[in-house]
Every structure is written in structure tokens, then in C-alpha cells.
Structure 1
Amino acid sequence: MRHMDPLAAYTFRVFLGVMEFGFSKVSGLGREAETTIYQEGGINDRVHVLRVPTKTPGTLRMERGAYAGEFFPFYLAGERLFLPMRIEVRSPEGLQLFGKFYTVTGLVVKKWEAGELDALQNTILIDRFELNYEHLLVSPL
């Protein structure tokens, strides 16, 4: 029998291939189908809803604290990342057994932005990233 409690949104890990990266926020995981309405001639009591090719990719938005001297592929705005990204959501205890994972492929780094630099505040510098993706697979672990 599977564990059926809701998953905590704060226990997750991000992998690009075999490399693990820490993020404080990830959003934009989702699917959307584009459709068109077709009214068949002679049939006036209903319409047909047809799926059309998707014109817009998915967009992941990710945030993390900036680190000095670290190799980080998400700084390469405009570049395609050929490795799949896997986002694992785990149980609050960190157990992989009762979680879920999302795999995104066809990644292109759309945008990288450094957070606000403010000498009057004692805060962590935040890097923000936007990545477009072509495919999303949602699976239980």
C-alpha cells in the first residue's frame, strides 16, 4: 500500500543529469493543452473540441542563493541544456520512497537575473532563472 499523505512542498531536490543543485523555489511545473472549437456543419446541438499543436513551451522559474566560484550551467542564458532535469519531491523526513518526481527535457536557459544589490540591507544575494522546457513527465518515485 502506498503512503497517501499530501507531500510537503519544501522538501525537494533538483538534478541536472547526475549533478545535484540546491534551489529555494521552483515554480512553473505544469502542462497546458491548446485547443480549438470546431462546429460541424449540419449538427447544431454540440461542438467538437480539438487539440492543436502547442505553440508555447513550459517555463520553469527557479531561485537560489548565489555562490562564489561555483560552476553553474543555468548562468548560460540562451544555451540548450542537453541533460534532463529531475525534480524530486520527498517526504518531510527526506525519504525518496514516498515522494514524486518531475522530469523536464528540451531545456533552454531563457533568463538569468541577479537579485537586488543593496548595501543597506544584510540579505543573501539571490539568483533567479527562467528555463523553457519542451516535455514534462510526472511520475511517482
Structure 2
Amino acid sequence: MTEQALEFFTEPLPKYRFLVVLGPAAAHLPPEQAALLPLTAQGAFQQVTGLGAQLEVTAYPEGGVNDRLRQFPVRHAWNRIVLHRGVARGPGLWAWYRAGLGNPLGARRSGAVLLMDAAGVPGAVWAFRGGLASKWTGPDLHGERSEVALEQLEIAHEGLVAVEQAVPELG
């Protein structure tokens, strides 16, 4: 096994090197939102939470089997992705949220969260599709603290995909 391949399998990725990319979804992007795309600070996020999913399962007691319950899948649900960042001048995330309020289908965007390795190369990528800005939260303001004002945007989406990364040659 080469040294590069060995490092690929043994080095865990740091959680502080990540990038968020938000792109337009072709069918549901209102013109006023399309004009705001260059203003969105892509990648300028302090924290991303909610990368996950769960499978709803129903327990079924099978007749004559008293030592266990059968488990059957019902439906799959995706967690909401929450982006946290310092409040920046300009419309940014608020504009995306507001654009969805006036459109009956919402203002959908797809995007991805890229986790980088020490060299700045994407080590893991999660892409989501059909994202709606479902909740915007402004900063908590406090006159006695010298902290950065943070805003949050919650994204409800229609699916998360772990994008496969190239594995170095073994051998």
C-alpha cells in the first residue's frame, strides 16, 4: 500500500475546514433572487449543523413469535441543515428567505457542504437538492459582550447525497 493511500484511510478530517456552496435550482428561482446570487457569501459560515437523516420504523408483533418484534421501514426523513454565520452587510441569507415568502413554490436552491483535508482538497462532500430557506434567525444582541453577531438559516431540503470521493490507488 502506498504512503498516500495509507494516509487516506488513517487521517480523520478536521471539522473546522469546510465550505458551503449554494446554487440556484433552475426551475424555481425568482428573477429578483437570481440578481442576489453574487451577494450571497458562499463559504463564509462559522458552523453547519443538521447533516443527517432518519428512517421511521414501525414495530409489528408477529403472531406466535413472542421473543421479538418485527421492524418494518415506513418513510425516510431528512434533518434540516442549519447554517450559522456572522451577520454581513447586504441582503444575503435574509433575501433568500424573503424571496421564498412571496412564491407559492418557495425559492429553491441546491447546494453542498464540502469538508476539506489539511491540503484544502475536498475529503467529504454532502450535496442537498430542492432546499427551501424555512427559518431565518437574527442575532442575539447584548451590549456587555464583544462577540460577533450571528444569524442562522435553516434549510428544509428534499434529499442529501454523500458524494463519493476518489480513492488513491492501492498497492
**Higher Cα radius of gyration:** 2
Report how many residues are paired.
Answer: 138
- C-alpha distance 28-115 of structure 1, shift in aligned 2 (>3 A): same
Match of 1:117 in 2: 141
Return 5+ residue gaps in structure 2 as ranges: 25-36, 101-105, 166-171
TM-score, normalisation: structure 1: 0.82
Say what the alpha-carbon RMSD is for the aligned residues.
2.4
- C-alpha distance 130-71 of structure 1, shift in aligned 2 (>3 A): closer
| Greater alpha carbon shift after TM alignment, 70-79 vs 26-35 | 70-79
- 61, 77, 87: which one pairs with 2:113? 87
- C-alpha distance 126-73 of structure 1, shift in aligned 2 (>3 A): closer
Return 5+ residue gaps in structure 1 as ranges: none
Q: Aligned partners of 1:69, 1:78: CA distance in 2, in Å?
A: 15
Q: Percent identity?
A: 25
Higher helix share: 2
- C-alpha distance 75-124 of structure 1, shift in aligned 2 (>3 A): farther
Q: Aligned partners of 1:83, 1:129: CA distance in 2, in Å?
A: 13
Higher strand share: 1
- Tell me whether 1:62 sits opposite 2:83 in the alignment: yes
Q: State how 1:1-141 maps to structure 2 within 5 Å.
A: 1=5, 3-4=8-9, 5-17=11-23, 20-54=42-76, 57-72=78-93, 75-76=96-97, 79=100, 80-96=106-122, 99-141=123-165
SS at match of 1:124: coil
1:87·1:101 contact (CA, 8 Å) conserved in 2?
yes
